[in-house]
Structure 1
Amino acid sequence: MNFESTRRRLTEKQADTVERLTKAAVEVLRAEGFAGLTVRSVAGLAGVAPATAYTYFSSKEHLVAEVFWRRLAASPEEADAGPDRTGRVVAVLRHIALLVADEPELAGAVTSALLGRDPDVEHLRTRIGIEIRQRLADALGSDPDPDVLEALELLYAGGLVRAGMGYGSYTEFADRLETSAKLILE
């Protein structure tokens, strides 16, 4: 899948470089954690000059946010969650929460990265938020109540921060999202 860069449109060769960098970022995170991640170390593992890596990613936060964005954008929408509105919403929240659940280093890094002030991170945070909002709105059905939609967004964002702070695993976070979403929707 070819993704548009957050900074510019990419040629095929550039898209390949960005793909190598994002894959290398996950490998470095697994080995070193977020504290040990640098754009330079990722560039080295990807076989790319650090200056080249910085043309695509302004910071390690930007790089990690891009990894999450790509996973979210590439993940299928929850099509067979059933006719029940609550079931559809729970499926969306659970799916998004579990995107990085099997990779604790990446999961924690995503939370830290998305809280960054880097303009490129802010841009990705907006794209991620729009995608999650759209998926929740679709799950709620036609003409969703904006207050309910916002409550679900706040639920997800608060849960993401809580899990990122270590107050439970991302799998537990998914379970709590389900319980809390049911309270909001019922």
Structure 2
Amino acid sequence: MSSPVFGQVSQEPTRRRLTPQQAETVAKLTTAAVELLNTEGFDGLTVRAVAKMAGVAPATAYTYFSSKNHLVAEVFWRRLSAGVPQPDMSQPPSERVAQILRAVSMVVAGEGQLGGAVTMALLGSDPDVEHLRVRIGGFIRRRLSEALETDPEQPGPLVDALEMIYAGGLVHAGMGHMSYEQTSERLVAAAHLLMEK
């Protein structure tokens, strides 16, 4: 299956392609999910409660999202795909990598409880979350590979190491051990150290 084209992601959730009316419904649900997370936390989040806040029938919400983990993972995917642009190829490789790592780590910065919820949601085991994990990982790998001008199908050990660094950093921030801003700067510093070897 081919990857969605950058910029079209917001119209294509995990389960199916959407008509404009369906895309509007999904947008209402994802917006309501973030609002509810900030008032009720991840434990208080349910697809039914999100549907009520969005003014959508629960049965309709469940046609798009199989679980709260799926819903939160979709929110992250949408923000990631919209917030991590292609690298600026006029910059040196280390700065291109820093640009990608900063953008990835700042996607949920300042979003209240969303960061912690994303960390928990992406650990979910339902098939829709697993699908999104693959999509998210593939997207970040492509961006890092573009920054380093390598083939994303065979990116090599440097991209592998950078993936491990950002994954660990985002889990660390999602657990509340440091802010996303601090995580961003540490990721960039780690990438510079790695690329200087």
Q: TM-score range by the shorter chain?
A: over 0.9
The 8 Å contact of residues 46 and 68 in structure 2, kept in 1 or not, is answered as yes
- 55, 63, 68: which one aligns with 1:60: 68
Amino acid at match of 1:181: A
Say whether the 8 Å CA contact 1:65–1:124 is kept in structure 2.
yes
1:24 equivalenced with 2:25 (yes/no): no
Which of the residues 101, 112, 119 maps onto 2:120? 112
Q: How far is the alpha carbon of 1:14 from its aligned partner? A: 1.2
CA deviations on 1:38-89 (whole Å, 9 max, x unpaired) are 1111000000111111111000010000001111112251544742111110
Q: What is the distance in 1 between the residues matched to 2:27 and 2:169?
A: 29
1:4-23 matches, cutoff 5 A: 4-23=12-31
TM-score, structure 1 as length reference:
0.94
The answer to which structure has the higher helix fraction is 1
Q: 1:75 aligns with which of 79, 83, 98?
A: 83
Q: Would the alpha carbon gap of residues 101 and 175 (structure 1) be closer, same or farther in structure 2, given more than 3 Å must change?
A: same
Identify the residue that residue 126 of structure 1 maps to in structure 2. 134
Matched, 1:177 2:187: yes
Hey, what's the Cα distance between the residues in 1 that align with 2:86 and 2:60? 37
Cα–Cα, structure 1 residues 106 and 81, in superposed 2: closer, same or farther, change >3 Å?
A: farther
- Distance change >3 Å, CA 111–CA 76, structure 1 → 2: closer
Calculate percent identity across the aligned residue pairs. Answer: 59
SS of the residue 2:16 aligns to: coil
Deviates further, 136-145 or 98-107: 136-145
Write the letter of the residue equivalent to 1:6.
T
Compute the RMSD of aligned alpha carbons: 1.6
Q: Which runs of 4+ in 1 moved over 4 A?
A: 142-145
Between the aligned partners of 2:155 and 2:57, the Cα distance in structure 1 is 49
Partner of 2:174: 164
**In 2, Cα distance between equivalents of 1:59 and 1:10:** 19
Letter in 2 for 1:147: P
Deviation string, structure 1 residues 137-182 (Cα, Å, up to 9, x no partner): 1111245851000000011111111111121111111111011111
Q: Which of 46, 49, 53 matches 2:57? A: 49
2:14 counterpart SS class: coil
The DSSP-based 3-state class of the residue aligned with 2:185 is: helix
Find the aligned partners of 2:61 and 2:163 in 1 and give their Cα distance.
33
